[in-house]
Structure 1
Amino acid sequence: MASLPAPSLLDAGIHAQRWIAAYCQQPLHGDVLAAGRDRAAWTAMFEELAAVAGDDLGHARERVQRHAEDIGTGFRIIGESDERPWPASPVPLLIGAAEWAGIAAGVAQRAELLETILADLYGEAALVRRGLIPAALVGGSPYFMRPMVGLVPPGGHHLNFIAVDLGRGPTGEWRVLGDHLRAPIGAGYALENRLAVSRTLDGLQSRLNVARHAPFFAAFREGLAAACRRVEPRIGLLTPGRYAASYTEQAHLARYLGLLLVEGDDLAVLEDRLYVRTIGGLKRIDALWRRTDPRMLDPLAFDSHSRIGVPGLIDAMAAGEVVIANAPGAGVLESAAFGAFLPALAMRLTGRDLILPNIATWWCGQDGALAAVREDFDALLIGPAFGVAPLGLPGGVALHGSDITGAARALLLDDMTRRPEDYVGQEVVRLSTMPVVADDRLVARPFTLRVFAARDAKGDWTIMPGGFARIGDDSDPRANVMGEGSWSADVVIHGAESVEQVSLLPATDSVHIRRNPGTLPSRVADNFFWLGRYLERGEALLGVIRVMLGNSIDADAGAGLHSATVGKLVGLVVNAGAAPHPPSLRRSDLTQFARTALEADQQYSSVRWLNRMARGIGQGSRDRLSADMVRLLDAPMPTRGGMLDRAGSLQRRYAALSGLSAEHMGRTASWRFHDLGRRIERALVVTRALWAFGLTGASADDLSTLLDIADSQISYRQRYLTGIARVPVVDLVALDPGNPRALAFQIDAICAHMKALPVLGDDGMDEAQQAQAAGLMAIVSTATAAGLDADMLADIERRLFALSDAVARRYFLQGAEPLRAAGMTLA
């Protein structure tokens, strides 16, 4: 009888117990797993992990990371152009429901306290008058917005959404490390962590009764809507753009919550109301969840140099016509210095101590606190009071006093004497640890917890059950050493009671059916239009390069093309701006010429340059493009093989992108602008190819090359068996409406898009862009192959450029001129 495999290879429970036992043998101090309070929950979690990964923890980490990348999670370090993948840990942080109830109560208490203080600072300022808050603490903050004084935000609240960073001490107590009130980051990452871990540990939800995130996000969305004046408000998420460090998170949140992702250039204020520029005119915006620096919001109210703000936005807010979450000026309470006063303010304003205490803080702007900091300098953290770097701390980061020595110490103490209000001293916080996978085993690392709170429709605070944990790089438990951490982890709140299956998706029988895909901002339409043009331009350039280097299917053409034909191919590339003219038409010079056109980084209109432009649009359109399309746009240039191989590889990638847009994009206005860009660009490419290779006197090599560029060799061979001739070639490439590469086909498609896109007038008359498309159709539909000459082709090219300009003027609204244009829809 054959022996059975060892139980350890089959039983996930054995793997889990072994992992836990090995982990607990390490020297641990205040570790959440070693404490033993939730040992049954931790065991269940590791059993789920072993059921997926067997005995290979490294595989579990790779699997979660792969899910995070599939979701599209990423972030950008300031100063870097490329995004990094979001570092998700396969091991979530587990917190029991009873412990979490205390945390949630403390965060809600803190949020309401901060709201009360903000209302006073921007209202009566009684706390300053009574000496409970030093005036220098308010006036000295760069985040105190004086134009907001006396302004009551629509809805009555300064805060709608906040984040609080917590640290767990070695004995299990939780304390507040910092508040985030300006534009809190991380809620989307918490959601994405949950998605990645849930896809890996799909049985954990039912085993541990994991609290869900959906009710929190639904409550926040309803809270924003309730603060608006209109019954069915339009809500936007205001982003600084695709170069923001957390842009992918913002795009994910906008998609998940059903918000309109907008930038400052998308918005305009007219008569104290906020509008978004769309392809259908101006559409009303009732609320903004902003993720921009508040100082950049409105150049008329705050920083006049802002290029990403909306002039007049604060006037619209003051008029009660737009809700801004959070209200500008909330960041004044983010400063570390306020931590020295919050405990006393809590007792004074609420009659009770903070449920979640602050870390002990001394603001050096007070004589007694300054003396205490100087006395215990080596035992404290010394940091900036207001979040900006003072002269004595040029890095702007809090440092342990004992680590500041020599000239740096002398500089800091000297500046602290001259400007003590710029500094704080804080106790050194030591953190609990949690298990994380490193080198394919479990190791202990310190962590902090970011918790999120939002107002619901009643104005009450609701707390996201979990948030996300940031995990330190090494075993040093000091909070200031951990910094931003190198990994993140899902935070699972578990309990004995079952959890209702709640989703942001409403019940199917309560949904009002609609086939209108929603509002399309002008900027997004512009981006999709140019994405189509860049991709089509790149594909056409690759086609020319491949023909030039000898990739024709005609056995008599290819490498043996006549020099005159090769010269015309070179002219197409040069005129496109992809490469300067080669010194000769020898094979070696043509190869180098092709390499420049393909790979030159700074060459305008090279394939690499076109790829970079398309990639930038893709990164800025994550809320509207599939993950597969973004992944193809992000793919690097091929490096293997010769020029023909690389060009072929890239052309196949372009074909895949074309297929995705043709077969997977809904027939919305976004798709129409994308396809319109493709059709206009392809029409220009065909027109120029006809001009170069299809006029009277064209050689056989010219005509064969024209068929190659138009990807019509096979169609011609099937249709005409008597050999190549100019008139039938020109008819197929220019005038055959059944050939998807023909000029006539592109004009037909352009006219169809023009008819389907919205118009402003209701008089039934064609707008400029429609009239120009109809004019093109009239020329092409009445032309004959024999009569198609240089003058007609020049006229068609001019009209295509004019049509592109007309589309831009009508749909890609920019600047102030369209705000009062006749017929603009205001809704």
Structure 2
Amino acid sequence: MATRAALPLLDATAHAARWIADYCAREHAGDVLCAQAHDPAWTAMFEELVAVAGDDLAHARERVQRHAEDIGTGFRVAGDSEERPWPVSPVPLLIGAPEWAGIAAGVRQRADLLETILADLYGEARLVARGLIPAALVAGSPYFLRPMAGLLPPGGFHLRFLAVDLGRGPTGEWRVLGDQLRAPAGAGYALENRLAVSRAMGGLQSRLNVERHAPFFAAFRDGLAAACRRVEPRIGLLTPGRYDPSYAEQAHLARYLGLLLVEGADLAVREDRLYVRTIGGLKRVDALWRRTDPRMLDPLAFDTHSRIGVPGLVDAMAAHEVVVANAPGVGVLESRAFGAFLPQLATRLLGEDLKLPNIATWWCGGPKEAAHVLDELDSLLIAPAFGSPPLGLPDGRPTLGAELTSEQRGALAADMARRPQDYVGQEIVRLSTMPAVDVQEGGGRALVARPFTLRVFAARDPDGGWRVLPGGFARIGEQADARASVMGEGNWSADVIVHGPSPVAPVSLLPPSDSIHVRRNPGTLPSRVADNFFWLGRYLERGEALLAAIRVMLGNSIEADAGAALAPATVGRLVGLVTGAGAGPHPASLKRADLVQLARTAMEAEDPQWSSVRAINALARGIGQGSRDRLSADMVRLLDAPVPSRGGLLDRAGSLQRRYAALSGLSAEHMGRTAAWRFHDLGRRVERAIAIARQVRAFGMAQASADDLSTLLELANSQISYRQRYLTGIARVPVVDLVALDPNNPRSLAFQIAAVCEHLRALPVLGDDGMDEPQQAQAAKLVAAISTATAGALDEEALDTVERRLFRLSELVAWRYFLHGADPLRATGLTLA
């Protein structure tokens, strides 16, 4: 690899040429770059990479990865509790326009063929009757859904969005490795890869005339809308929830396309129409882009144990009142076994050969094919025919026949004799390689050759035709083994750039500014999302209040250089505030060591029995991950940040406090004043009011000492306000008035209750009689109680009453606006729109 001293600093062309020459001197001709080493497009791409990285490829990789993380790209591996950053290579895969035209034509032809087969399988079933498709291949598939037989999906199509996995052979030919039809993932990652690479290498778009992604997504969205009955339909993206491996991608797509991100619990069917449950009642949904397992989609039609489906959804489809993309049941064609029949079906149904050939496949449901697979075991890949793991394969996964032991071969042969239809044999495909940045011995970075597969996406446009996303995304294997069977999912991804000689119009997904109707209505707020925002506010405020008590306890009773220690009685009350919140056990004494241990437990304990700051933050982080389509990347990043680990307890507490302040600032200054913000702020105000009532009861009652009152001012963040207002010293009545009753103090109890009342007045109501709803009436009672109270007469009983009413108010808000199991309709004042 060239060093900075070896070449002129600004000679990007020389750098790029050296990188290409060094790489191709080590790699074989089957590599994509080496086969096209003289293509000026690759030179231009590496020149842009030089502009980003100089001669440091590690910098390029880190910069692209940082942009991906800024976008909020992530994914989850099954079994993981936390998301992982989406790995993006800084080196894109380049495909010229002529070569891409052939790929796109092959994908469109394949999509038409699959649609034709699906229409027959769920219609007249002539292909099975004529023997062109074995009946066992259909009936034996867990993804053939009988309730869909005879049902023509709204709009007339079973398929509206699909993905095709391709492999490029060493000599440049493209072949189909598999079809993704049930809930194809990855289009959002392709979009995010493009955004990350474009931000890092801004000049690439114009230099290579890169085909854009926006027209594809616009055509898909418009195609869904065109199939709906209403002129301005409401379209949702149905997600399994935040624990789905590709939830981050789904949230990004929903935000980018302007779709409503919904879960099954958000939806209800009434009189064969689909509705989303919102804070304003039921709102009609006209189309769903489904990312859930189709078998879980409707417990009345498919799996009765489903807890994530929508009862009655298939009936709504049958009534042509909701479009679902893709229709349930399309997954029957994902079976590897269909690869053995598609070439013949293409000839029969389309009158032409497949433009993108399948890899050679033998379904063992036929006796000749089963015998062939066993005879040629050493040269084939043995895989499940229907996805479900058969007994004869180690771990139930696709396995190279040559790697089976004699004992495993015997088990395979025995199970194939019992259930041959569960197996397929496939040729072992060798893949082309492409350059990737990798760690070398000694810590250096270099371009290395790695095998890759390409996922291409197609979607129906408003005319019912197929649009192919120009590029898709590449999955890069970690090891140098170029067999598709051992590459798995790959550890890295790469942007795929389709380039040509002609300039590309700067198309955006956004319509022209003068063609869209101005709207200040922020849109529909599902009840689940309102619930999330309310509790996000409560958790953040709860964590901040607990942290404040810990900091006061640490700063005034433990650190020798922090000034005079608090009196033992005041420290005891602080301890009671912390332990009363369930953050830790009561210490054996008020000695320094015991207090330090309590503070450490209350702030950082991972034991689930303690409601520590760490545990509260984890709850807030979970809500943030499930609401990322409505939160800024900065807020999600702060919520995801780990608990500080450097410095002493006070230093770590200070870091957490600054994080809480940043989150509060983002919500106050960057969130639009929508209903979502109101619920978030409402949660904050309710939780803060509860905390202040407890603090005043603990430190502001009769006989309170100067230390008690000072602590109360510290907990309420009102020390400066008090000192500016009162110059004669500290006294109980003015302290209690400032903290509890002053409506102009943003940290007072009165201020929080007034804000709660204002939010509830602004939120939608179901009744039209002009009367207060229960939550509004409860807030009005609180306002009256606080506005007529006096500091001198405020006692524990009055504060207890305020706290109970706040908890009751929270219950009433939840009952009015949030989801309650299977109660979808809220019959009183039901709104249908």
Shift of 1:555: 12
Moved more, 417-426 or 561-570: 561-570
Contact preservation (8 Å) 2:27, 2:34: no
Secondary structure of the corresponding residue to residue 509 of structure 1:
coil
For 2:474, give the aligned amino acid.
Answer: A
Task: Tell me what 2:463 maps to.
Answer: 458
Contact preservation (8 Å) 1:167, 1:431: yes
Contact preservation (8 Å) 2:602, 2:610: no
Q: Does 1:777 align with 2:783?
A: yes
Task: Tell me what 1:752 maps to.
Answer: 758
Task: Tell me what 2:673 maps to.
Answer: 667
For 2:93, give the aligned amino acid.
Answer: L
Task: Tell me what 1:286 maps to.
Answer: 286
Task: Tell me what 2:322 maps to.
Answer: 322
Task: Tell me what 1:637 maps to.
Answer: 643
Secondary structure of the corresponding residue to residue 819 of structure 1:
coil
Secondary structure of the corresponding residue to residue 752 of structure 2:
helix
For 2:501, give the aligned amino acid.
Answer: A
Secondary structure of the corresponding residue to residue 395 of structure 2:
coil
Task: Tell me what 1:472 maps to.
Answer: 477
Shift of 1:394: 4.2
Q: Does 1:590 align with 2:595?
A: yes
Moved more, 107-116 or 761-770: 761-770
Aligned residues: 824
Task: Tell me what 1:398 maps to.
Answer: 398
For 1:607, give the aligned amino acid.
Answer: V
Secondary structure of the corresponding residue to residue 510 of structure 1:
coil
Task: Tell me what 2:427 maps to.
Answer: 427
- Relative distance call for 1:738 and 1:723 in structure 2 (3 A) is same
Pairwise mapping of residues 563-602 of structure 1 onto structure 2 (< 5 A)?
A: 563-601=568-606, 602=608
Choose the corresponding residue for 1:704, options 706, 710, 720.
Answer: 710
Task: Tell me what 2:805 maps to.
Answer: 799
- Distance in 2, Cα, partners of 1:692 & 1:422: 69
- Distance in 2, Cα, partners of 1:666 & 1:458: 37
Task: Tell me what 1:740 maps to.
Answer: 746
Task: Tell me what 1:523 maps to.
Answer: 528
Task: Tell me what 1:12 maps to.
Answer: 12
Secondary structure of the corresponding residue to residue 13 of structure 2:
helix
Task: Tell me what 2:253 maps to.
Answer: 253
Moved more, 253-262 or 654-663: 654-663
Secondary structure of the corresponding residue to residue 236 of structure 1:
strand
- Distance in 2, Cα, partners of 1:318 & 1:578: 53
Task: Tell me what 1:143 maps to.
Answer: 143
Pairwise mapping of residues 263-412 of structure 1 onto structure 2 (< 5 A)?
A: 263-412=263-412
- Distance in 1, Cα, partners of 2:673 & 2:73: 26
- Relative distance call for 1:456 and 1:37 in structure 2 (3 A) is farther
- Distance in 2, Cα, partners of 1:676 & 1:39: 60
For 2:615, give the aligned amino acid.
Answer: W
For 2:818, give the aligned amino acid.
Answer: F
Contact preservation (8 Å) 2:756, 2:779: yes
Contact preservation (8 Å) 1:38, 1:96: no
For 1:660, give the aligned amino acid.
Answer: L
Q: Does 1:513 align with 2:511?
A: no
Shift of 1:572: 1.3
Task: Tell me what 1:82 maps to.
Answer: 82
- Relative distance call for 1:366 and 1:38 in structure 2 (3 A) is farther
For 2:599, give the aligned amino acid.
Answer: A
Shift of 1:407: 1.8
TM-score, reference length from structure 2: 0.97
Choose the corresponding residue for 1:483, options 488, 491, 502.
Answer: 488
- Distance in 1, Cα, partners of 2:722 & 2:640: 36
Secondary structure of the corresponding residue to residue 691 of structure 1:
helix
Provide Cα deviations, 1:240-280, integer angstroms capped at 9, x if missing partner. 11111011100000000000001111111111111111111
- Relative distance call for 1:558 and 1:123 in structure 2 (3 A) is farther
- Distance in 2, Cα, partners of 1:213 & 1:559: 64
- Distance in 2, Cα, partners of 1:500 & 1:122: 41
Task: Tell me what 2:734 maps to.
Answer: 728
Identity %: 77
Unaligned residue ranges in structure 2 (runs of 5+): 440-444
Task: Tell me what 2:793 maps to.
Answer: 787
- Distance in 1, Cα, partners of 2:703 & 2:669: 41
Secondary structure of the corresponding residue to residue 798 of structure 2:
helix
Moved more, 323-332 or 644-653: 644-653
- Distance in 1, Cα, partners of 2:832 & 2:38: 57
Shift of 1:137: 0.3
Task: Tell me what 1:48 maps to.
Answer: 48
Contact preservation (8 Å) 2:281, 2:826: no
- Distance in 2, Cα, partners of 1:767 & 1:746: 20
Secondary structure of the corresponding residue to residue 242 of structure 2:
coil
Moved more, 329-338 or 750-759: 750-759
- Distance in 1, Cα, partners of 2:454 & 2:57: 23
4+ residue runs of structure 1 moved beyond 6 angstroms? Answer: 552-558
- Distance in 2, Cα, partners of 1:539 & 1:759: 32
- Distance in 1, Cα, partners of 2:383 & 2:47: 43
Shift of 1:91: 0.7
Contact preservation (8 Å) 1:550, 1:559: no
Shift of 1:784: 0.8
- Distance in 2, Cα, partners of 1:654 & 1:43: 48
For 1:454, give the aligned amino acid.
Answer: A
Shift of 1:792: 1.2
Shift of 1:813: 2.9
For 1:152, give the aligned amino acid.
Answer: L
Secondary structure of the corresponding residue to residue 34 of structure 1:
helix
Shift of 1:815: 2.9
Secondary structure of the corresponding residue to residue 438 of structure 1:
strand
- Distance in 2, Cα, partners of 1:394 & 1:515: 58
- Relative distance call for 1:398 and 1:436 in structure 2 (3 A) is same
Contact preservation (8 Å) 2:30, 2:433: yes
For 2:741, give the aligned amino acid.
Answer: L
Contact preservation (8 Å) 2:363, 2:425: yes
Provide Cα deviations, 1:796-824, integer angstroms capped at 9, x if missing partner. 11111111111111111333435151212
- Distance in 2, Cα, partners of 1:701 & 1:461: 74
Shift of 1:563: 1.6
Provide Cα deviations, 1:489-520, integer angstroms capped at 9, x if missing partner. 10000111111111001111112111111101
For 2:33, give the aligned amino acid.
Answer: L
Contact preservation (8 Å) 1:547, 1:558: no
Shift of 1:552: 8.8
- Distance in 2, Cα, partners of 1:637 & 1:554: 22
- Distance in 2, Cα, partners of 1:397 & 1:784: 73
Task: Tell me what 2:656 maps to.
Answer: 650
- Distance in 1, Cα, partners of 2:700 & 2:326: 62
Contact preservation (8 Å) 1:548, 1:558: no
- Distance in 1, Cα, partners of 2:646 & 2:456: 47
- Distance in 2, Cα, partners of 1:513 & 1:505: 14
- Distance in 2, Cα, partners of 1:37 & 1:107: 27
- Distance in 2, Cα, partners of 1:443 & 1:561: 64
Shift of 1:745: 0.7
Task: Tell me what 2:442 maps to.
Answer: none
Contact preservation (8 Å) 2:527, 2:819: yes
Contact preservation (8 Å) 1:288, 1:325: yes
Shift of 1:7: 5.3
Secondary structure of the corresponding residue to residue 771 of structure 1:
helix
Contact preservation (8 Å) 1:265, 1:814: no
For 2:333, give the aligned amino acid.
Answer: L
- Distance in 1, Cα, partners of 2:283 & 2:125: 38
Task: Tell me what 1:25 maps to.
Answer: 25
- Distance in 2, Cα, partners of 1:556 & 1:280: 55
Secondary structure of the corresponding residue to residue 316 of structure 1:
helix
Shift of 1:700: 1.4
For 1:640, give the aligned amino acid.
Answer: R
Secondary structure of the corresponding residue to residue 496 of structure 1:
coil
TM-score, reference length from structure 1: 0.98
Contact preservation (8 Å) 2:584, 2:601: yes
